[in-house]
Amino acid sequence: MEILRNLYRRRLRTGLTVLGIAVGILAFTVMGAMAEKFNRLIAGGEAYFANRIAVHSTGGALRLNLLGPEEIEVMKRTPGVRHVETHIMMALDETAGFELAPRFLVGIDLPNFARAQLIGDEAAQLRLARGGWWRPGERQVAVLGSAVAHKMKLDVGDTLHARGRDFRVVGVLQETLSLPDGWALIPEEDAREILFDGSALLREMGLDGAWTNAYALIEPGLGEALTDQLAHSLRRGYLLHSPEQLAKAAGTASSLLNTAILGSGAIAVIVGSLAVINTMFFAVGERTREIGIKKAIGAGRWAILREFLAESVLIGLMGGLLGLGAAAGLIAALNGYAAQEGTPVFLLTPRLAAGALGFATLLGGLAGAWPAWRAANLDPVEALRAI
Amino acid sequence: MSAQPLLEAEGLVKEYPMGVRALDGASLTVGRGEIVGIMGRSGSGKSTLLHILGCLDRPDAGRVCIDGIEVTRLPDSALPAIRLRRLGFVFQAHNLVPSLTALENVALPLRYLRPRPANPYAQAKAMLEAVGLGDRLHHLPGQLSGGQQQRVAIARALVNSPALVLADEPTGALDSQSARALLRLMRRLCQERGQTFVVVTHDPVVGQVCDRIYHMEDGRVLSTAAG
């Protein structure tokens, strides 16, 4: 109660200090929420590709280096490869330009895809939120990733217009916070027709089997060795990524983001701690005689130290709560806007909220330690002479 | 005055930088249940003596015994406990913690006690009632008159039942009527509780309630006289 009254007595200064910390924590939380989201995406991607070697065609105007049945067969026969999942992948909307969360049409062969789901890692499994999968042989149907459904405002029973064709939406996937959220899964035959529409040469060739991507589902721990082996077995013109390469790339991206968080955290530390130090030194100066009286009646160093530390910790906590509240509001607003584009960009996790609050409180305590130490060590006679 | 004095100070010397000698061999003795005045002009060394007797400062030479304990031999870390358990302080003005109510101010020393008393606020309330402020428990110092504030300060000085209360110009900021009321209170507490007071003052009115008066000049205790 005494602490609250002391803070209330200097309410303008306390308020400005709390505001200073709140701004720092706001920046820290918003940056952190962005990093949490991207870290989750990266972790999702990492989990998805944990035991998969990704093989992509490098494209090209003529699209002559698509993966054909021979390449798939080579991959399947390689010891250590349990299954090969094939995709025909293309931009859902060629006219969309840059998208924060890119959307893709992904053509799949349902039995091939289902087997990959069965033997793949738990983290890579896609679950339906609504509706179901299409029946074998069914055409012009789609199962949408959550971000595609959200952005295009589509649900089961609606029609997806993509690349000049209509697809009846039969299912919507649960959110994965990973790549499949941006996918619209369609039958492989439909995807192949769209792919060949763009190339007269391919259309003339009348290929039955051609894919843009393939994923070799492998035994754990064989990623690097099998990637090397496949690179030699397959003809040139494909990009191969081992799980280790993808994990390393993800780790680099994650490190960059975390550095950005630490950077914003450092700014919060500097701004917030200077404000707290300033406020607490003023408080010690104003209350020098009060400290003298307390020492005269028997307060020890620790008792005085504790009183001033408690005030600075409370300032930190109030700043943290205010900053966190403001950040939650801002994140909700920004996510509301970003959701219109398909994917919320910020993720305020309990871990981040607790971390931001703990950080603010710790910051208050650390910044208040110096003035509190000075108060605790004031000479009582000198302090009593203060007016 | 009992055979065993409560307070003994002997040959106290205190010199400040620039060679100013505030105390120059000051000695005094105070018995239990006495009100002893220390009078003298400004700069005679009264406040320095009070600070040393109150374990707030250390002499350069000499010794102080309180209740049989030679406090001048104790380390700094032991002095807060001596102040907390054996001494009470009343200062001239700005004497209370402004953010605490009268009740909280009086309970303050009890908060510093380890182990804490079971119900410090009940003790503080009883003490405030004893000084006639039972109806001002929840007033902040700013809401009390100067005389009332000093009565709260006396209640705070006594709440721990200390052996000795040291008062530095307790009536200095009061009008004559409030000062007389405060002195009557001190005398009554001294009689009822057997409390010992050492009062530093230059006010002759204060001297009238003292059992004995020490006069100080240039850092020396010159004489003692009946109050």
DSSP letter string, B98-116: TTS-HHHHHHHHHHHSSSP
Average pLDDT over residues A57-67: 65
A106 has a pLDDT exceeding 90: yes
Average pLDDT over residues A241-249: 83
pLDDT at A119: 84
List chain B residues with CB under 8 Å of A303: 112
- Cβ distance of A299 and B156 shorter than 8 Å: no
A141 has a pLDDT exceeding 90: yes
CB atoms within 10 A of CB A200: 10
> Closest by alpha carbon to B55, among A321, A379, A36, A217?
A379
Pairing state between β A128-131 and A165-173: antiparallel
List chain B residues with CB under 8 Å of A301: 80
**Which residue in chain A has the smallest CA separation from B85?**
A298
Look up residue A234 and give its DSSP letter.
Answer: S
pLDDT at A52: 86
- Cβ distance of B112 and A293 shorter than 8 Å: no
pLDDT at B20: 86
CB atoms within 10 A of CB B28: 21
pLDDT at B95: 79
**Which residue in chain A has the smallest CA separation from B55?**
A296
Q: Considering only the beta carbons, identify the residue of B85, B91, B113 that sits closest to A384.
A: B91
The complex scores an ipTM of 0.86
What percentage of chain B reaches a pLDDT higher than 70?
97
Our CA-based measurement puts residue B152 at a distance from the nearest CA of chain A, in whole angstroms, of 14
B131 has a pLDDT exceeding 50: yes
- Cβ distance of A384 and B81 shorter than 8 Å: no
The interface residues of chain B toward chain A in range 154-173, judged by CB-CB distance below 8 A, are: 156-157, 160
Look up residue B78 and give its DSSP letter.
Answer: G
pLDDT band at A61 (very low <50, low <70, confident <90, very high): very low
List chain B residues with CB under 8 Å of A378: none
Q: Report the alpha-carbon distance of residue A103 to residue A86 in Å, rounded.
A: 18
The interface residues of chain B toward chain A in range 64-103, judged by CB-CB distance below 8 A, are: 77, 80-81, 83-85, 87-89, 91, 94-100
Reported as half-sphere exposure (CB side, CA atoms, 13 A), residue B27 has a value of 5
> Closest by alpha carbon to B158, among B224, B110, B225?
B110
Look up residue A164 and give its DSSP letter.
Answer: T
Least confident of A8-22, A292-306, A324-338, B108-122: A8-22
More confident of the two residues B170 and B110:
B110
Q: Does A6 touch chain B (CB under 8 A)?
A: yes
Pairing state between β A165-173 and A141-144: parallel
pLDDT at B226: 64
pLDDT at B1: 46
Average pLDDT over residues A222-240: 83
What percentage of chain B reaches a pLDDT higher than 90?
48
- Cβ distance of B89 and A297 shorter than 8 Å: yes
User: CB contacts < 8 Å between A and B, how many?
Assistant: 64
pLDDT at A5: 79
List chain A residues with CB under 8 Å of B71: none
- Cβ distance of B89 and A296 shorter than 8 Å: yes
Our CA-based measurement puts residue A308 at a distance from the nearest CA of chain B, in whole angstroms, of 14
pLDDT at A108: 95
List chain B residues with CB under 8 Å of A311: none
Q: What is the DSSP string of A281-308?
A: HHHHHHTHHHHHHHHHTT--HHHHHHHH
B52 has a pLDDT exceeding 90: yes
Amino acid at A220: P
Beta bridge partners of A105: A90, A184
Our CA-based measurement puts residue A382 at a distance from the nearest CA of chain B, in whole angstroms, of 10
Look up residue A67 and give its DSSP letter.
Answer: B
Six token digits for residue A43: 């972790």
Pairing state between β A52-57 and A159-162: unpaired
H helical segments located in A65-145: 69-77, 110-119
- Cβ distance of B100 and A6 shorter than 8 Å: no
pLDDT at B152: 93
pLDDT at A98: 66
Q: Considering only the beta carbons, identify the residue of A297, A381, A387 that sits closest to B108.
A: A297
Mutate to test the interface with A, among B46, B76, B94 (most CBs of A within 10 A): B94
Under DSSP, is residue B174 helix (H, G, I), strand (E, B) or coil? Answer: coil
Q: How far is Cα of residue A15 from the mean position of the Cα atoms in its chain?
A: 33
Beta bridge partners of A144: A172, A184
Q: Does A303 touch chain B (CB under 8 A)?
A: yes
The interface residues of chain A toward chain B in range 135-164, judged by CB-CB distance below 8 A, are: none
Average model confidence (pLDDT) across chain A: 85
More confident of the two residues A2 and A71:
A71
Q: Does A300 touch chain B (CB under 8 A)?
A: yes
- Cβ distance of B56 and A289 shorter than 8 Å: no
B91 has a pLDDT exceeding 90: no
A62 has a pLDDT exceeding 70: no
pLDDT at B54: 93
Six token digits for residue B36: 């002893």
A41 has a pLDDT exceeding 90: no
Query: Domain extents for chain A?
Result: 2-43+254-385, 52-219
Average pLDDT over residues A95-116: 85
Q: What are phi and psi of A190, to 5 degrees?
A: -65, -40
State the angle between helix axes of A350-376 and A301-339 in degrees (0 to 180), rounded to the nearest 10. 150
pLDDT at A290: 85
**Which residue in chain A has the smallest CA separation from B156?**
A297
Mutate to test the interface with A, among B52, B79, B96, B112 (most CBs of A within 10 A): B112
Mutate to test the interface with B, among A297, A382, A385 (most CBs of B within 10 A): A297
pLDDT band at A167 (very low <50, low <70, confident <90, very high): very high
List chain B residues with CB under 8 Å of A11: none
Q: How far is Cα of residue A381 from the mean position of the Cα atoms in its chain?
A: 58
pLDDT at A274: 84
List chain A residues with CB under 8 Å of B94: 289, 387
- Cβ distance of B156 and A297 shorter than 8 Å: yes
Q: Does B115 touch chain A (CB under 8 A)?
A: no
pLDDT at B3: 58
Q: Considering only the beta carbons, identify the residue of A2, A298, A380 that sits closest to B84.
A: A298
- Cβ distance of B109 and A297 shorter than 8 Å: yes
Average model confidence (pLDDT) across chain B: 88
A339 has a pLDDT exceeding 80: no
- Cβ distance of A297 and B95 shorter than 8 Å: no
